[in-house]
Amino acid sequence: MTRWEPGAAERLAQAALDLYAERGFEQTTVAEIAKRAGLTERTFFRHYADKREVLFAGAGALQEPMVAAVRDAPDATAPIDAVAEGLRAGAAVLEPRRPFSRQRQAVIAANTELQERELIKLARLGAALSDALRRRGVADPTASLTAEAGIAVFRIAFERWVDASEDRELSALIQESLDELRAVTAGARG
Amino acid sequence: MTRWEPGAAERLAQAALDLYAERGFEQTTVAEIAKRAGLTERTFFRHYADKREVLFAGAGALQEPMVAAVRDAPDATAPIDAVAEGLRAGAAVLEPRRPFSRQRQAVIAANTELQERELIKLARLGAALSDALRRRGVADPTASLTAEAGIAVFRIAFERWVDASEDRELSALIQESLDELRAVTAGARG
* pLDDT of B187 above 90: no
pLDDT in tens, B13-49: 999 999 999 999 999 999 999 999 999 999 999 999 9
Please tell me the distance from the alpha carbon of residue B152 to that of residue B159, in angstroms, as a whole number. 11
Looking at beta carbons, which residues of chain A come within 8 Å of B182? 185-186
CB contact under 8 A, A148 and B143: no
Tell me, what's the pLDDT at B4?
61
* pLDDT of A148 above 90: yes
Could you give the count of Cα atoms lying within 13 Å of B96 in the half-sphere of its Cβ?
4
* pLDDT of A15 above 60: yes
CB contact under 8 A, A78 and B188: yes
Please tell me the distance from the alpha carbon of residue A130 to that of residue A140, in angstroms, as a whole number. 9
CB contact under 8 A, A120 and B116: yes
Nearest to B127 by CA among B156, B151, B108: B151
Tell me, what's the pLDDT at A31?
96
Looking at beta carbons, which residues of chain A come within 8 Å of B188? 78
* pLDDT of A1 above 50: no
Which residue type, as a one-letter code, is found at position A72? D
Tell me, what's the pLDDT at A61?
85
Tell me which architecture the domain covering B58-185 has in CATH: Orthogonal Bundle (1.10)
Nearest to B142 among A139, A152, A190 (CB): A190
User: What do you get for the CA distance between the two ends of chain A, in Å?
Assistant: 61
pLDDT in tens, B127-147: 999 999 999 999 999 999 999
CB contact under 8 A, B156 and A145: yes
> Could you tell me the sign of the dihedral formed by the alpha carbons of A94, A100, A105, A108, in that order?
negative
Lowest-pLDDT range, A164-173, B50-59, B88-97?
B50-59
Please tell me the distance from the alpha carbon of residue B146 to that of residue B137, in angstroms, as a whole number. 13
Nearest to B70 by CA among B131, B152, B156, B148: B131
CB contact under 8 A, A184 and B142: yes
Ramachandran angles phi, psi of A76, nearest 5°: -80, -5
According to DSSP, residue B96 is labeled G
Tell me, what's the pLDDT at A59?
78
B7: left (phi over 0), alpha (psi -120 to 50) or beta: left
* pLDDT of B2 above 60: no
CB contact under 8 A, A186 and B187: no
Q: Is A37 exposed, middle or buried (0-12, 13-18, 19+ CB in 10 A)?
A: buried
Which residue in chain B is spatially nearest to A142 when comparing CA positions? B190
Return the CATH number of the domain spanning residue range A8-54: 1.10.10.60
Task: Please indicate whether residue B79 or residue B190 has the higher confidence score (pLDDT).
Answer: B79
* pLDDT of B3 above 90: no
Nearest to A148 among B79, B144, B156 (CB): B156
To the nearest whole number, what is the mean pLDDT of chain A? Answer: 92
Q: Is ipTM beyond 0.90? A: no
Domain ranges in chain B? 8-54, 58-185
Instruction: Categorize the per-residue pLDDT at B175 as very low, low, confident or very high, splitting at 50, 70 and 90.
Output: very high
- pTM here is 0.88
pLDDT in tens, A85-131: 999 999 999 999 999 999 999 999 999 889 999 999 999 999 999 99
Could you give the count of Cα atoms lying within 13 Å of A189 in the half-sphere of its Cβ?
6
Could you give the count of Cα atoms lying within 13 Å of A40 in the half-sphere of its Cβ?
7
* pLDDT of B77 above 80: yes
Yes or no: say if B68 and B135 are a contact pair by the CB < 8 Å rule: no
